[in-house]
Structure 1
Amino acid sequence: MFRTKFSQFRTISIVEGISYLVLVFFAMPMKYFFDEPMATKIFGMIHGIFFIIFCIALYGAMKKYKWKFIFCLKLFIYSLIPFLFILIEKEILKKRESI
């Protein structure tokens, strides 16, 4: 499915970022404005699984491409803030040029 660990990591980071946006901008309003807590249970679990996969993929990419810990820490912090998964994409594309 994925040709390289790099493309695998890119795809996972995008999917994780989108799942975070769905959680924040769909499931949370459903819970608090429409009194529907099941939305956060479902999307929270889905996002949690994607986040764990993202962390594992980040570690794998760090080992394979010998990325510095501080760079990976920056990517991890970006993953905690909505919309910053776009910066993850920019950062890793810059790194790709140096590989």
Structure 2
Amino acid sequence: MNHPSVKRFRIAGLIEGGSLLFLLFIAMPLKYFAGLPEVVTVVGSIHGFLFITYLGFIAYTTYKIRWSLIWVLGAFIVAFIPFGNIWLDQRVKRNFA
């Protein structure tokens, strides 16, 4: 199934996952090692917006292609794991693209 909503979900997931990695591996070290807490404030706000947007894409994709509860929970859980969205992207690509 090569549905446009799956492609949009994959893009949103990779962007959201990238923002998490940027927050954890660039912004947080800048806060603690360079004394720049403002970076975490800005990047954290952007990541929060992208996370909420990602949740919307989960809901939209579930509606359009009737994802099972396992896919929905998996998509939600990997958003909290560094590199999790990259792993999920490969699974979605294999099963739905």
TM over 0.5: yes
| Counterparts of residues 1-99 of structure 1 (less than 5 Å) | 4-97=4-97
Tell me the amino acid that sits aligned with residue 43 of structure 2. Answer: F
TM-score (norm 1): 0.90
Q: How big is the alpha-carbon RMSD for the aligned residues of Structure 1 and Structure 2?
A: 1.3
- Secondary structure of residue in 1 paired with 2:81: coil
In 1, Cα distance between equivalents of 2:15 and 2:56 = 14
- Higher-RCO chain (CA-CA 8 Å, sequence separation at least 6): 2
- Secondary structure of residue in 2 paired with 1:33: helix
Number of corresponding residues: 95
Point out where structure 1 has 5 or more consecutive residues left out of the alignment.
Answer: none
TM-score (norm 2): 0.91
Tell me the amino acid that sits aligned with residue 60 of structure 2. Answer: G
Tell me the amino acid that sits aligned with residue 71 of structure 1. Answer: W
- Secondary structure of residue in 2 paired with 1:95: helix
Structure 1 residue ranges (4+ consecutive) displaced by more than 2 angstroms after TM superposition: none
CA deviations over 1:49-80 (Å, ceiling 9, x no partner): 11100000001101111001122101111111
In 2, Cα distance between equivalents of 1:72 and 1:87 = 15
Q: Percent identity?
A: 33
